[in-house]
Amino acid sequence: MQCPICGNELSPDAVNCEKCGATRVTQRTPVGVLVGWLGMTVALLWAILGAPLLILPFTERGISGFPWPVFIVGVVIAAGLLWYSKSTVHSIWVRKED
Ligand SMILES: [Zn+2]
């Protein structure tokens, strides 16, 4: 591959350019970052919601009264959001800061 800043030939896995000092940074898109936070929030909320699962089997109520469909949908949504966020990761080259 070539350095997009100066055109210097680089190895495919190069993270910086020896000629112009540009560095490659990996980042998510702004939407990806936002969705990532959303996914983390849902995951956290569901972790709290799922906490009773640790004790419910030992109570008289059992886990049959647990809202499984809601819980599973939430887990799927959180996983989907986090997956989408991860899929927006891309690398860009930035010029050396003087
Ligand atoms: Zn360069």
DSSP at 97: P
Going by C-beta distance under 8 Å and a sequence separation of 6 or more, which residues neighbour residue 22?
3, 4, 5, 6, 16, 93, 94, 95, 96
How long is the chain? Answer: 98
pLDDT computed for residue 44 by the predictor? 96
Task: Compute the mean pLDDT over every residue in the chain, rounded to the nearest whole number.
Answer: 93
Contact 5, 93 (CB under 8 A): yes
Is the per-residue pLDDT at 98 higher than 80?
no
β-strand partners of 90: 27
pLDDT confidence bin for 95, thresholds 50/70/90 = very high
28 alpha carbon – ligand 1 mean position (Å): 23
Q: What's the distance, CA 54 to chain centroid?
A: 26
96 alpha carbon – ligand 1 mean position (Å): 9
Helix (H) or strand (E) holding 69: helix 68-87
Mean pLDDT of all residues in 6-32:
95
Contact 76, 46 (CB under 8 A): no
15 alpha carbon – ligand 1 mean position (Å): 11
